[in-house]
Amino acid sequence: MKYQITSQINLIKQSDKNYNAFITLNEQGALISAQDAHASVSHSPLAEFTLAIKDNIEVAELPTTGGTKGLAHFIPPQDAPAIAQLRKAGAIILGKTNLHELAFGYHEQQPRLRCGTQCT
């Protein structure tokens, strides 16, 4: 599973230069989650299933920016209930995806934040 996660992360890094779809990548966390999921919940329907989470949903240990620089350093202490259930079922979080600022909808040409382990 480590190879699949690494391949997916590398593909995101390569293609996201053009698309700006990700705000945060969870490379280390995804690899650790893959090991845990493989060992503990291999019979779960979501075991080793990879997901990207919109950046207005709280994921523990990952910034939740809502697409605005004002929240660029906010890291929630715990997962949103839906994320907690997904993780419990074995899902692996690859990262957080971009959105229009505070999810207000289409109002600008370029989203404000860029892909990477930190918002820029």
pLDDT in tens, 50-94: 999 999 999 999 999 999 999 999 999 999 999 999 998 889 999
> What is the per-residue pLDDT for 12?
95
55 neighbors 67 (Cβ within 8 angstroms): yes
pTM here? Answer: 0.81
* CA 112 distance to own-chain centroid: 17
Query: Whole-angstrom Cα distance, residue 46 to residue 24?
Result: 22
Residue 8 vs residues 3, 13, 39, 60, 94: alpha-carbon distances, Å: 9, 9, 20, 21, 8
Q: pLDDT at residue 39 above 70?
A: no
27 neighbors 9 (Cβ within 8 angstroms): yes
Domain ranges across the chain: 2-101
